Structure 1
Amino acid sequence: MYMINLRYTGALAEIDDALEAHRVFLERYFAAGVFVIAGPKVPRDGGIILASGIERERLDEIIAEDPFARQKLAHYDITEFKATRLAPGLNLPVPSSES
């Protein structure tokens, strides 16, 4: 599992102009089962995405497709971690290599 920490490098007006395309990008990878959680940070200086069930090389390719990345509006820090505990009632996909 990966935590993707986006930090905006562009002005908020530029972020707002690219936001709809970014949301379409997110929806594509939610539908594909890659992204499991996403949302803006507070204060609004970036966002967080959790991704699961994917190899790092493929994740890097996906992140490069993000309109924020293409327009150089965000910096991405990606941290891999193993989810070993989950609150009751939450279900996250288990990567195929661990099932």
Structure 2
Amino acid sequence: MDWVRSVDDEGKLNPSDQEIKAASTVYLVDEVMTGTKEEIVDIMERSYLEIAIQEFAAWWTVEEDWPLISDLKEFEGYFKWKLIEMIMDTTDQAYETEEV
């Protein structure tokens, strides 16, 4: 979150590590077929930029201030991620999507 603090001249955004962890987001990606490290990395290679855009926009809306990320390694410098192989939907509500 150092990049947010560096562009926030008014000091309004100074989240604690606990607040950042509490604001974690789950992203659904393509189905994992084999579970090999190569397959998982391939899925993240196809997804990291969209995830980064969503996360940066959630914290700061001035796109020119966002860090430039050109590969998965740079993405991992800003974000922690892990694969969770299964999620269960226990609600009766329909999914809502937001156009990006």
Q: TM-score, normalised by structure 1?
A: 0.32
Q: Report which of the two has the higher share of strand.
A: 1
Which of the pair has the greater relative contact order for Cα pairs under 8 Å at 6+ separation? 1
Larger of the two Rg values belongs to structure: 2
Kindly indicate which of the two structures has a greater share of residues assigned to helix: 2
Structure 2 length as normaliser, TM-score?
0.32
